[in-house]
Structure 1
Amino acid sequence: MPVSGSPLRGRTAVVTGAARGLGAAMARELSARGARVALLGREERTLRPVQESLPGAGGCWEVDVTDDRGMALAAADIRARLGPASVVVANAGVAEGGPFAESDPAVWRRVVEVNLVGSAATARSFMGDLFDTCGYFLQVASLASIGAAPMMSAYCASKAGAESFAHSLRAEVAHRRVGVGIAYINWTDTDMVRDADAHPVLRELRGHMPPPARRVYPVEYVAGRLITAVERRRPSVYVPRWLWAGQLVRAAMPSVVTMLSRHELPRLDAAEPFRATGMLGTGARNGPAASRSGRD
């Protein structure tokens, strides 16, 4: 869509987890459609190159989405410099894999804190702006919100929680003319997914999905679909589109996954014993939990 025709033109948009991957791609797409983009992430040095690649006014803020005070201060500074946010994208997310019984509690907890608590902290910090602008909040969820997978307990639990949070928030703020959308995305070509494929058990589990479900989508394509949904204030967006069918069979999915896992996991474990992956993705590996557990 041309910049001149986009409802985002001249609006302030906030993207968390904007240093790389889907967050950076969404920031570029928002900027191309005329928005002033505020980039939030844990390291300014990785945010700065993304900011410098964007046309028009914007800025970057180094903050951890789980830090309530830091997020509130960032929101106040963005409001002063760019104006109140009309769009907020809760994109920051991390993942880890491996057997739950052997998981590092700090790493497991960090996944839930970033993906669920961080989304809530993001919404809380900018909700006053969204009330003032009758804005839109997009929660980036996942296929994992619909159907849980073995070896990804923290990620699946946190994404299901983020989905439920967004549903609750939508009902709560609808009368204030604030829109809340949920983005259900499948495998996207980011460093987190590439890291997952480097671990045999996660690669094998993806390989046992039906062919359409195992496809990896270019990050620019996913970002474009999500920002179009932002423009249209959609309550939900599915990338790829067929993913919405997962909602129709949602009740049956746990039983199907359990049946397949009972058959496949012993075979995979015999070929190569399951091990914890630690944090997946470049940004996540530099996080607090990774430092405490000695992983880098």
Structure 2
Amino acid sequence: MRDIGTASGPGSSPGTPLRGRVAVVTGAARGVGEALARCLSDAGMLVALLGREEETLSRVAASLPNRSVCVEADVTDRTALEDAARQVGSELGPASVVVANAGIAVGGPFIRTAADLWQRVVEVNLVGSANTARAFLPQLNDTRGYFLQIASTAAFGSAPMMSAYCASKAGAESFAQALRGEVEPDGITVGIAYLHWTGTAMVAGIDDHPVLQALRRNQPRFARRVHSPAQVADWLATGIAHRAHHIYAPPWLRWCQPLRPLFPALVARITRRELRTRSRTELAADVSVLGAGGLADWYSYLSRKRH
């Protein structure tokens, strides 16, 4: 596969394929997004951090070793993303790497989850990724760049009580696969990253969600390990440098791809046992937005809706 360093560009040199180039990371205020922004900056990139929490973004940007900008933008707002793309191009230059990382999740029964909340998860995780690609593809076309879609093992086998998240991540994977074929003739590479258990605020309350707890408990010991955002970001940055079509975090996930047809039935069997032991009242109490980033997005959405 063509390495990002083979194209000429400002600051590029053999052995430093990312140095001097511009990267855009959505959902960069915390978690994997923050860690990846830091990792890419350490590799010599100029990083644009996009997200909903301007104050948090500014603190992250100020701590990076290389020049950066932060832009408060909702990935479901196409106009805001178009403005963000113009600002990034003006202040840093055209993007060579764009990472569609912004994501939120809600846990709980579908029927008990507010329709607006369920839809918001899909809009951020799936539609937001498409909006990000739409806004930055002109720049990636100019730089013959790399677009990375952050997906999840939730796309391998959908778990009850996580219907919006699983549907959105499966959709994001499918979107990226379709986009790849369209833009490769233009010299743009599209990668998909599959993340497993990652130590972000989104999974901090995993023990409060019986289905996720059961799924993790029934996995092999090595598969239950929770990896730090820094470790995941390192895997992602390595894949970005190599313009990888697929990035697995952790790497052993690559061996799960041939087994994917088996996963839906396996997940259903594990979760069925768990759901049968809990009353509908107990399950209804488990509806919640997961993680500080998801809560910030949801509260901001509700505030805009009221006004």
TM-score for the superposition, normalised by structure 1: 0.93
Aligned residue number for residue 238 of structure 1: 248
Aligned residue number for residue 102 of structure 2: 92
1:101 corresponds to 2:111: yes
- Please list, as runs of the form range in 1=range in 2, the aligned pairs for 1:179-258 lying within 5 A after superposition: 179-258=189-268
Alpha carbons of 1:292 and 1:57: their partners in 2 closer, same or farther (altered >3 Å)? Answer: closer
Aligned residue number for residue 32 of structure 2: 22
- Once residues 147 and 56 of structure 1 are traced to their aligned partners in structure 2, the CA distance between those partners, rounded to angstroms, is 39
* Amino acid corresponding to residue 194 of structure 1 in structure 2: A
Out of 112-121 and 243-252, give the one that drifted further: 243-252
Contact 1:131 1:176 in 2 (8 A): yes
Q: CA RMSD in A?
A: 1.9
Contact 2:235 2:249 in 1 (8 A): yes
* Amino acid corresponding to residue 70 of structure 2 in structure 1: C
Contact 2:53 2:296 in 1 (8 A): no
Count of aligned pairs between the two proteins: 291
Contact 2:41 2:66 in 1 (8 A): yes
Provide Cα deviations, 1:43-101, integer angstroms capped at 9, x if missing partner.
Answer: 21010110011012111000001100000001001101100000000000000111112
- Once residues 275 and 118 of structure 2 are traced to their aligned partners in structure 1, the CA distance between those partners, rounded to angstroms, is 21
Provide Cα deviations, 1:253-282, integer angstroms capped at 9, x if missing partner.
Answer: 212222222223212449954534321110
Out of 238-247 and 84-93, give the one that drifted further: 238-247
* Amino acid corresponding to residue 187 of structure 1 in structure 2: W
1:9 corresponds to 2:30: no
Out of 281-290 and 136-145, give the one that drifted further: 281-290
* Structure 2 unaligned spans of 5+: 1-11
Partner SS, residue 249 of structure 1: helix
- Once residues 293 and 227 of structure 2 are traced to their aligned partners in structure 1, the CA distance between those partners, rounded to angstroms, is 20
Partner SS, residue 141 of structure 1: strand
- Please list, as runs of the form range in 1=range in 2, the aligned pairs for 1:274-285 lying within 5 A after superposition: 274-285=284-295
- Once residues 206 and 138 of structure 2 are traced to their aligned partners in structure 1, the CA distance between those partners, rounded to angstroms, is 37
* Amino acid corresponding to residue 212 of structure 2 in structure 1: L
Aligned residue number for residue 63 of structure 1: 73
Contact 1:145 1:159 in 2 (8 A): yes
Tell me which of 117, 120, 123 is aligned to 2:133: 123
Out of 185-194 and 257-266, give the one that drifted further: 257-266
TM-score for the superposition, normalised by structure 2: 0.90
Task: Tell me by how many angstroms 1:145 deviates.
Answer: 1.3
- Once residues 32 and 216 of structure 2 are traced to their aligned partners in structure 1, the CA distance between those partners, rounded to angstroms, is 20
Contact 1:201 1:274 in 2 (8 A): no
Provide Cα deviations, 1:142-200, integer angstroms capped at 9, x if missing partner.
Answer: 00111111111000000000000000000000000100000001011101110333444
* Amino acid corresponding to residue 119 of structure 1 in structure 2: S
1:165 corresponds to 2:175: yes
- Once residues 255 and 289 of structure 1 are traced to their aligned partners in structure 2, the CA distance between those partners, rounded to angstroms, is 36
Alpha carbons of 1:203 and 1:255: their partners in 2 closer, same or farther (altered >3 Å)? Answer: closer
